[in-house]
Amino acid sequence: TEAEFASYVKGSFDHGNKSLRSVPEANLPSTGLEAAAVDWTTGSCMPAVRDQGQCGSCWAFSAVGAAEMGHCVATGELLDLSEQQVTSCSTEGGSMGCMGGWPAHALNYVATTGLCMESVVIHPDRDTYISCRLVVCH
């Protein structure tokens, strides 16, 4: 939950904008088959290491990585989704392209808009702002 995340980072990501959409939590019954530990780095759902260059888009990269991993865990298919789409097109409070943003806002964008593949909206790996060039990719 957002509260658990906030307590873990001790408020360092307090974005002050309370417009985040509420996401219902799933209460799943225990199957008794839970693993004591999981090493995600050895599985097929670990995305490749990414390079944001000089662009301050870590907020977008973290959200897209979480979306890729979540999709893969649910379906078994690892996608390469576009960080640049989130960096350029997410304008929800606090998202300022290469000047920074909030992962929670990026996740809201992903949930409401969806993402193109990286091959459609490519991250340039340089310190320049690219305007939103969202194409129909869905």
Question: Which of 65-69, 94-98, 113-117 is least confident?
Answer: 94-98
State mean pLDDT over 90-95. 72
Overall CATH class of domain 53-132: alpha beta
Quick check: 72 pLDDT over 80?
yes
Summarised one tens digit per residue, pLDDT across range 6-31 is 665 544 444 444 444 555 566 667 77
pTM metric for this prediction: 0.68
Nearest CA-CA partner of 88 in 65, 114, 122: 122
Give domain limits for the chain: 53-132
Dist. CA 42–CA 109, nearest whole Å:
29
- The secondary structure of the chain in percent helix, strand, coil, rounded to multiples of 5, reads 35, 0, 60
Phi, psi of 128 (to 5 degrees): -135, 150
* 106-132 pLDDT per residue, tens: 998 888 888 888 887 666 655 455 566
